[in-house]
């Protein structure tokens, strides 16, 4: 005896919903992974700049403040003088450090002269783009400080 047509229709509808659910779970997993990676980079960026800011705060002289920041950044990233590109890395990161120092220790005549060009996040983004192009990886991936953990409220 052959099953009635309505059973085939109901089975096909159930199978289609199972496929849709499976696809939604896959897309959700990919989206969560992407958001998690973005969050990790954002916290690494924040922690790097926070540590550079702390180093700059200890030095009123711009040269000393910039050097202290660079030392912190390269140490956190695991760079050393022995590595090819070390001087270039420091040279490219120096403007970011200079901006941080300037924001912490503004010149007496600065007042409204501090321009939008002294935007630390934009300068850091420019450095990150250069690093990615020059070395083929994200600078922030070198920073291993864990980010706050995330726990899903809904299990996909």
Task: Name the CA dihedral angle for 34, 51, 96, 33, rounded to a multiple of 10 degrees.
Answer: 0
How open is the CA angle 110-112-118, to the nearest 5 degrees? Answer: 75
> What are 41-87's pLDDT values in tens digits?
999 999 999 999 999 999 999 999 999 999 999 999 999 999 999 99
**Measured distance between the N- and C-terminal CA atoms of the chain, rounded to whole angstroms:** 40
Q: pTM for the complete prediction?
A: 0.78
> What are 20-34's pLDDT values in tens digits?
999 999 999 999 999
- pLDDT higher for 92 or 156? 92
């Amino acid at each position: 005896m052959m099953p009635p047509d309505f059973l085939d229709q109901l089975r096909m509808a159930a199978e289609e919903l199972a496929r849709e659910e499976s696809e939604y779970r896959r897309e959700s997993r990919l989206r969560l992974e992407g958001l998690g990676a973005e969050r990790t980079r954002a916290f690494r960026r924040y922690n790097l700049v926070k540590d550079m800011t702390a180093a700059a705060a200890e030095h009123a002289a711009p040269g000393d403040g910039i050097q202290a920041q660079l030392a912190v950044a390269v140490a956190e990233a695991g760079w050393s003088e022995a590595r090819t590109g070390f001087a270039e890395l420091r040279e490219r990161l120096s403007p970011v450090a200079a901006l941080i120092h300037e924001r912490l220790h503004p010149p007496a005549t600065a007042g409204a002269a501090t321009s939008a060009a002294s935007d630390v996040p934009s300068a850091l983004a420019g450095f990150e783009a250069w690093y990615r192009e020059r070395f083929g990886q994200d600078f922030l991936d070198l920073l291993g400080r864990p980010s706050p953990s995330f726990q899903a409220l809904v299990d996909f």
